[in-house]
């Protein structure tokens, strides 16, 4: 049986908890579990006390753990465990041998923390395409931008038919308290326009959080609850679906959102009155030209 020292950060007060567990076929026991071998729950130190320059702070560990009845043999094994992101702790986290659920019952929310070096990973590029809606449907794409320090942002959206033609679009400045609020405001405005153009609407956005919020029928946080309610009221009577797309496939709405952030008033347009850049981006979508996501 091998023993490791796991370090978990307590989110409430920024302190860390030192705990040991069995690292082998039986998995890892976290602090607070009934079978934990050493009573160290009361010992909380600052994170800097336990490692220095990518290695354990041996003096601190050899000072603390004997007071808890931990044998020198076990302390030596703990000190042999690397914490520079290349050894057993990284493996234990990455394969989820250690995870917050194993610390349940100790504090409301716990994270496993230790020095971490990112591995160089070669990822394959992904091809992202904007797809046309099915016949008789229209498709609404929205996006938003947000400048937190100014509490300002921009919203943009475009509605297209089954051939990819622009039926309506908008760009407008927004005043909001969060990026999520700007995303919802842009969606709300887009649905308002789309309702006048068709009853079967495919909604698409690059905000996965917003997609999940609408799908789960959650009311959301108090600050955005009124917007979520307004959106749901607008969706009543519509045959709709909402999906996520990566930002590389949401370029028309993304461009309009940036334009909205630079404006002082709202602007709306269709296929004939759209800006040249909007027409060009929409044409690329219509031709199903792929976008590469690195």
Q: What is the 3-state secondary structure (H, E, C) of 42-81?
A: CCEECHHHCEECCEECHHHHHHHHHHHCCCHHHHHHHHHC
Core vs surface per residue 249-272: b (16+ CB within 10 A) or e: bbbbbbbbbbbbbeeeeeeebebe
pLDDT of 178 above 80: yes
Number of domains in the chain: 2
115-140: pLDDT as tens digits: 444 555 566 788 999 999 999 999 99
263-275: pLDDT as tens digits: 999 999 999 999 9
CATH number of the domain enclosing 251: 3.30.420.10
Residue 230 domain-assigned (yes or no): yes
132 and 107 in a common domain:
no
Q: Which helix (H) or strand (E) holds 100?
A: none
Residue 30 domain-assigned (yes or no): yes
- Please classify residue 99 by burial: count the beta carbons closer than 10 Å to its beta carbon, then call 0-12 exposed, 13-18 middle and 19+ buried: middle
DSSP 187: H
159 and 277 in a common domain:
yes
Cα–Cα distance list, 119 to 62, 123, 124, 138, 240 (Å): 31, 12, 15, 43, 42
Supply the pTM of this predicted model. 0.60
82-103: pLDDT as tens digits: 554 444 444 444 545 445 454 4
- 3-state class of 259 per DSSP? helix
């Amino acid at each position: 049986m091998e023993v490791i020292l796991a370090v978990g950060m307590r989110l409430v007060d920024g302190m860390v908890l030192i705990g040991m567990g069995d690292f082998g076929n039986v998995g890892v026991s976290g602090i607070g579990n009934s079978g934990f071998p050493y009573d160290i729950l009361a010992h909380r130190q600052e994170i800097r006390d336990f490692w220095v320059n990518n290695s354990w702070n041996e003096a601190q560990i050899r000072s603390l753990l004997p007071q808890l009845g931990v044998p020198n043999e076990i302390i030596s094994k703990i000190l042999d465990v690397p914490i520079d992101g290349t050894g057993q702790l990284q493996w234990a986290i990455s394969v989820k041998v250690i995870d917050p659920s194993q610390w349940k019952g100790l504090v409301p929310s716990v994270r496993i923390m230790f020095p971490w070096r990112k591995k160089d990973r070669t990822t394959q590029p992904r091809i992202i395409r904007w797809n046309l809606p099915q016949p008789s449907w229209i498709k609404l794409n929205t996006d938003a931008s947000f400048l937190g320090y100014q509490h300002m942002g921009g919203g943009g959206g475009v509605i297209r038919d089954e051939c990819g033609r622009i039926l309506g679009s908008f760009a407008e400045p927004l005043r909001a308290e969060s990026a999520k609020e700007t995303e919802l405001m842009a969606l709300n405005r887009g649905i308002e326009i789309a309702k006048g153009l068709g009853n079967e609407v495919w909604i698409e956005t690059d905000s996965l959080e917003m997609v999940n919020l609408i799908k789960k029928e959650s009311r959301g946080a108090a600050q955005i609850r009124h917007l979520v309610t307004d959106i749901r009221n607008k969706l009543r009577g519509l045959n709709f679906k909402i999906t996520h797309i990566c930002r590389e496939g949401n370029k028309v709405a993304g461009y309009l959102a940036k334009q909205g952030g630079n404006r002082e008033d709202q602007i709306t347009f269709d296929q004939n009155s759209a800006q040249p850049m909007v027409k060009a981006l929409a044409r690329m979508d219509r031709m199903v030209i792929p976008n590469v996501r690195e």
